[in-house]
Each structure stands twice: as C-alpha cells, then as structure tokens.
Structure 1
Amino acid sequence: MTKSPITSHVLDTATGQPAAGLPVQLSRLEGETWQTVDEAITDADGRIMTWRVPDQDLGFGTYRLRFQLQSYLGDSAFYPYADVVFALADERHHHIPLLLSPFGYSTYRGS
C-alpha cells in the first residue's frame, strides 16, 4: 500500500506514546466552506498513512486536518479539537505531525 500525499503522525507528549485511536477529519476549502474529504482514526503508531479518497482526487488547494482531541484525551482536554490548515500547492509529500498534551499542541511541516 502506498502512502497518501497527505499523512500525519500524532504523539502524546504527556505520555511519551503515539496517540492511537484519535479521530481525524480531512477537509478541503471550497470557496468559503469546508467540505469533508474523508475521516480516519490514527493507528497503533499514531499515524494516518492513507485516506479512502483516491490520491488523484486530492488536488491542489487549502486543506484542514481536524484532530478530535477531546475524543482522545477525554475530560482532561482543554482544547476539544486542533485544526491544522495548510496549502497543498505542489507535488511533494505533505506530512503533518501533531504533538499534543491536555493543555497544548504544536505542529510543523514534516518530511
């Protein structure tokens, strides 16, 4: 199985473990409205390597990954979700990591 042009890896910095079982929604900005492209759940290693949508349908545009933090962290989540918005503007692989804890999160352009 090949990996998607958009992948993610989520690490729980409070436990030092991958964030397994975290729901993530992939959306694309169409005009001024977000359209859901797909939804997935992180695997045992905290990764999403493929989406059900065909890769060729993930064209250039503005995308959002919505990480459902409250679903993963429960009542200890200060942020119910984390939105990471990014531009898919070239053919390169786009890896979007997320580091999370009950009171914060960060992201960066991965490789």
Structure 2
Amino acid sequence: MSSETAAPTSVSTHILDTSVGRPAEGVALTLSVRAGREGAWTAHGAGKTDADGRCKDLPPLPDGTTHVRLDFEVEDYFATEHGQPQQAEEQQDAPRVRDSGAFFPEVAITFAVKPGEHYHVPLLLNPFGYSVYRGS
C-alpha cells in the first residue's frame, strides 16, 4: 500500500474519574509528536474532554511520527466542580468532600506508534493516582 492510500495514524483518548465513577469533563490536553527516539517534541494538537470524557478531534499524526505524548492538565479539573462528587442523593457511594486537590497536577503519557494504526489511550484518573492502557 502506498503512503498516498495508507490510513492515517491517529490518536483518541478519554478520561474516567474513578473517584466518582464518571467521565472527566473539561480536562485540557495537548498532543505532541516526535520522529525518532532522539527527535524533538513538537506540539501537534490540543483539546478538552467533552461531557463523556472524550477528546475525539485530535488531528491525524504527521508522516514519520514514531512517538506521541499526551499531556493532561488535571489540576484545574480537580479544583473545579467537575472534579467534585455529585450530591449524596445522586451517587450514594461517592465521597462528599475531597480532602485535597490533585496530587498529580498533570499526567504525561508517552507511547510509540506505527504508521496507519489508530491508538485509543484511556486514562483512569483519581486525585491520588492514575492508570493508562491501550484501548480499542
């Protein structure tokens, strides 16, 4: 398959706030790319998560991209009402008050990519930890 007909390499992500069992809405993120392990990082796209915690409109990756970095700005999310639990009557098992903001003010996820593939990278987030994996 020639590069003219090859599918673009693409990235999507979403965030679930596991401390309240809901999507994390309004989290700003930046997509950066580089070519080769020693290449310089270049900002390539940015966005915010929607009401479902998803950022679906990141641009396709440029040819030659070998590594991608997603930088999530989570400190502002935990400082706003978005990161606060719902009222007890709406979600009975949610904590009523957080005792602190985010321990990790930002989360940076770096991963390798191959041409023509799609990478969905979910972030499971809470104020004191996070987990990430390659989704489908």
Indicate whether the TM-score tops 0.5.
Answer: yes
Number of equivalenced pairs: 106
Residue 48 of structure 2 is aligned to residue 68 of structure 1: no
Aligned to 1:39: 46
Range with greater deviation from structure 2 (24-33 or 38-47): 24-33
Q: How far apart, in 1, do the equivalents of 2:112 and 2:131 lie? A: 17
Alignment of 1:91-110 (within 5 A): 91-110=116-135
Identity between Structure 1 and Structure 2 (%): 40
Instruction: State the Cα RMSD in Å.
Output: 1.8
Residue 29 of structure 2 is aligned to residue 24 of structure 1: yes
Gap regions ≥5 residues in structure 2: 1-8, 80-99
Between structure 1 and structure 2, the one with the greater Rg is 2
Aligned to 1:9: 14
Structure 1 residue 34 displacement after superposition: 1.8
- Which has the larger share of helix? 1
**TM-score, length basis structure 1:** 0.86
SS where residue 104 of structure 2 aligns? coil
Structure 1 residue 59 displacement after superposition: 4.7
Gap regions ≥5 residues in structure 1: none
Structure 1 residue 33 displacement after superposition: 2.7
